[in-house]
Chain A
Amino acid sequence: MRRLAGLAALALLLLAGCAKPARDDLYVLLPDAEGKTGELSVDSVGRVTVLDQPYAAARVKEPGRVEPGTVTEQETKQAFGQALAAQPGRPISFILYFLEGRDELTPESKQIVATIPGEIAKRPAPEIIVIGHTDRVGSVPFNDALSLRRAERVRDELVRAGIAADRIRVEGRGEREPLVPTPDEVAEPRNRRVEISVR
């Protein structure tokens, strides 16, 4: 009986060995758009390999067996060409500046706002997020309202340029998120802004 059980266990092991498909996993770290390279850790059943160089790669033929190495750009395109070709356009962001205490754009920012519809048109199913901010001159409620008015002003400009209003989300954050931290009641042109992200 014990021998039978042993045989059965052996048969199971053999079966498992045959049934377990050999893998052909490949993980590759790429340089990012600015040419810098991040870091990717590969943990296969507790075995950790860290990739931190451009085109550093890890191959896994079976769980727990990680083979570090590198791949060429050519090999990368061959193995991942269609996934890479389907990559959505990179999100882009803009900062527009305003005159003190008002929802009127600075002349420089008026020129920038005119370029944004072109960027939006390049993207399928575009999403536009417009977030208004103020400096710390004035009360918190005043600045909450002003930041929202600034964002709505930019939205209206975009809608006038032909962008569908339901693609644009508008928010006002008041004086809470300055680009340049200042004491209260300090005028700071760099904080009187609207941030637009398009993706």
Chain B
Amino acid sequence: MSRSSFSSLTVAAVLLGALPISSAAQEAGHVKVSRGTVQIERAGQKLPAEVGAAVQSGDVVTTGTDGSVGITFLDNSLLSAGPNSVLAIDRFAFDSTTHQGAFESSLKQGTLAVVSGKLAKQSPEAMKVKTPAAVLGVRGTEFLVRTGAPKD
């Protein structure tokens, strides 16, 4: 093996190793409002959801009894959850040039306010919000979701 091919292999290995860290492609949005207890669950870890924190495809955002959170997504969709909520970002993909992609999220419990963005505008099938009892199809633009057992 010549020295140059060895070094280019090393470079390739370093680049490959660096990929998961720099995979900004997974980034879906950012926390803009965070009150009380709010956490982001990612790959088994619980991270604090501070203002400015990135939200990725696959994250689960939870709020405590005193918590609420507002997230702006890359397609300008706005999702905000009230207290005692569990919101999973199941899938987010957005092409900023064509505005095509998909945005699927699940509210497992709690309350959610949604303003749909460029994805839903470009294609009515692109955005879906699920609850344990229903699938909501979004043809624009603003709606509210509450899901869970009745309060005593």
Contacts and interface: CB of A to CB of B under 8 A. Distances in A.
A166 to B, nearest CB: 12
Interface in B103-144: 111-113, 115-117, 131-144
Given A31-B142, A41-B136, A76-B144, A83 B111 contact: yes
Contacts of A60: 131, 133-134
A49 to B, nearest CB: 9
Given A27-B144, A79-B111, A91 B133 contact: no
A182 interface: no
A88 B133 contact: no
A125 B51 contact: yes
B30 A127 contact: yes
Contacts of B147: 23, 25
B113 A84 contact: yes
A38 B116 contact: yes
Which of B71, B81, B141 has most A Cβ within 10 Å?
B141
A82 B112 CA distance: 9
B31 to A, nearest CB: 7
Contact of A125 (B52, B134, B144, B151): B52
A70 to B, nearest CB: 13
Interface stretch (B2-10, B12-20, B39-47, B72-80): B72-80
Contacts of A123: 32
Contacts of A30: 142-144
A85 B68 contact: yes
Contact of B80 (A24, A33, A88, A124): A88
Which of B30, B134, B140 has most chain A Cβ within 10 Å?
A: B134
A66 interface: yes
Contact residues of A: prevailing secondary structure: mixed
A124 B51 contact: yes
Contact of B144 (A31, A83, A89): A83
Contact of A66 (B52, B70, B116, B134): B134
B143 to A, nearest CB: 5
B146 interface: yes
B113 A25 contact: no
Given A41-B136, A82-B111, A199 B72 contact: yes
Nearest to B85: A83
Given A80-B82, A82-B111, A83-B113, A38 B32 contact: no
B48 interface: no
A147 to B, nearest CB: 14
A85 B80 CA distance: 8
Nearest to B66: A82
A69 interface: no
A78 to B, nearest CB: 11
A30 B78 CA distance: 14
A80 B82 CA distance: 7
Nearest to B120: A38
Interface in A168-191: none
A87 B133 contact: no
A86 B137 contact: no
Nearest to A65: B133
Given A21-B149, A22-B149, A24-B151, A40 B138 contact: yes
A24 B147 CA distance: 6
